[in-house]
Amino acid sequence: MKILFCNIGWMEFYRGLSATDKIVGGGSYVKDEGMGHEVCNFADHRGVVYGYVQPPKAKGQPGEGQINIDRIGGKDSDSVEGVLVFWTATRPEGGTVVVGWYKNATVHRFYQRFKRMPALHKRNGLHGYRIEAKTSDAVLLSVDQRTCTIPRKVKGGMGQSNIWFADAAESQPTVKNVRALVAGKKAKAAVKRSRKTDPDHNAKVEKAAIATVRDYYEKNFYIVESVEKDNVGWDLEAISGKVMLRIEVKGLSGSIANAQLSPNEYDAFAQNLNNYRLAIVTKALDSPRLLICRYSDEHSNWVVDGNEYLKIDIQTKLSAAVIVRI
């Protein structure tokens, strides 16, 4: 399989710049201009997504630089099809991670200008792209799912360039990990489930909800421990690199996401904004649906991770009621 890694700036949705989704990182251009040409990389336009990455420009090379597609089977061609493209970015907490991918992508050697510019791309000042794929073949991970790390500046890892072919022998463990990610499997290096359990926790719904949340974060390469007995205001702690999340789990047997927080839980909810997660599991015993609520600095409010259309309604009494509405 032909594989290409492209490093870009960090965003949540990559569907255009907005007051609630700005780009950070991604090099000096983003820092100076407050935007990058990758800001619409996951914006659907008539069933197609158009991706941008800034390739290195050789000294004396004319034009806007080019992707050396010779290394992925595109010798003597202007484009190559059937490429698995991984998009990576640096988390605000540090560390380069996979944020999403295109399967069966077409990678162009040269910058392509739109013949008919999509309205969203035009509003964001974008005139072209370098990689394209069907929207159905594009996967964008939610913020909490972005845990598959990519080694940088080490033998077999990604260097300073935004383009990485990962074709060295030393790069193959990373390639194996990202392929497992696409297949929906745990990487070999993922940590096994913690055996620590709470023997007093015998409510079936709550147990099922805890299991659902634990499985979700472990599949995304977090080390998960239960702190249910410690009365700290949350049930689980999930660690991935420098990221440590405090997760309060609320299990519900029905389909309506309406959860009550105790005073102790609400205190944790209010004080641990950026690393606190409220995980609500509806229909926990038969067909669990997981909603992860987190605080967004850009929204200055609580949001549902990975879903910009769900809204959170917080009603504060002596404790708090959290309702997720569509």
Q: What is the pLDDT of residues 162-187, one digit of tens each?
A: 999 999 999 999 999 999 999 987 55
Q: If pLDDT is split at 50, 70 and 90, which confidence band does 57 have?
A: confident
pLDDT number for residue 196? 45
pLDDT number for residue 87? 98
Closest CA to 182 of 60, 1, 29: 1
Of all residues in the chain, the percent with pLDDT exceeding 90 is 62
As separate numbers, helices (DSSP H) first and strands (DSSP E) second, the chain gives 5, 16
Q: If pLDDT is split at 50, 70 and 90, which confidence band does 193 have?
A: very low
pLDDT number for residue 191? 41
pLDDT number for residue 280? 94
CA distances from 90 to 86, 102, 143 (A): 13, 19, 12
pLDDT number for residue 200? 40
Whether the Cβ atoms of residue 209 and residue 250 lie closer than 8 Å to each other:
yes
Q: Beta partners for 247?
A: 236, 277
Distance (Å, rounded) from C-alpha 10 to C-alpha 24? 5
Distance (Å, rounded) from C-alpha 4 to C-alpha 104? 11
Distance (Å, rounded) from C-alpha 233 to C-alpha 247? 9
Q: Please give the domain boundaries of the chain with CATH numbers for all domains.
A: 2-182 (no CATH), 204-325 (3.40.1350)
Q: If pLDDT is split at 50, 70 and 90, which confidence band does 268 have?
A: confident
Q: If pLDDT is split at 50, 70 and 90, which confidence band does 226 have?
A: very high
Q: If pLDDT is split at 50, 70 and 90, which confidence band does 265 have?
A: confident
pLDDT number for residue 320? 65
Using one digit for the tens of pLDDT, what is the confidence trace for 97-126?
999 999 999 999 999 999 999 999 999 999
pLDDT number for residue 197? 39
Average pLDDT over residues 289-313: 85
- Is the confidence at residue 199, as pLDDT, over 50? no
**Amino acid identity of 241?**
G
Distance (Å, rounded) from C-alpha 317 to C-alpha 263? 9
Which of 122-136, 151-165, 299-313 is the most confident on average?
Answer: 122-136
Q: If pLDDT is split at 50, 70 and 90, which confidence band does 12 have?
A: very high
- Is the confidence at residue 96, as pLDDT, over 80? yes
Closest CA to 80 of 6, 131, 44: 131
Cα-based torsion angle of the residue sequence 102, 104, 106, 109 in order, rounded to the nearest 10 degrees: 80
Give φ, ψ of 248 to 5 degrees. Answer: -95, 130
Q: If pLDDT is split at 50, 70 and 90, which confidence band does 189 have?
A: very low
Q: Which DSSP letter does residue 307 get?
A: B
Average pLDDT over residues 134-156: 94
pLDDT number for residue 13? 95
Average pLDDT over residues 286-294: 92
pLDDT number for residue 201? 32
Q: If pLDDT is split at 50, 70 and 90, which confidence band does 317 have?
A: low
- Is the confidence at residue 309, as pLDDT, over 80? no
Closest CA to 38 of 59, 60, 53: 53
Give the torsion sign (CA, 51, 242, 306, 122). Answer: negative
Radius of gyration of the chain (CA): 21
Whether the Cβ atoms of residue 174 and residue 156 lie closer than 8 Å to each other:
yes
- Is the confidence at residue 198, as pLDDT, over 50? no
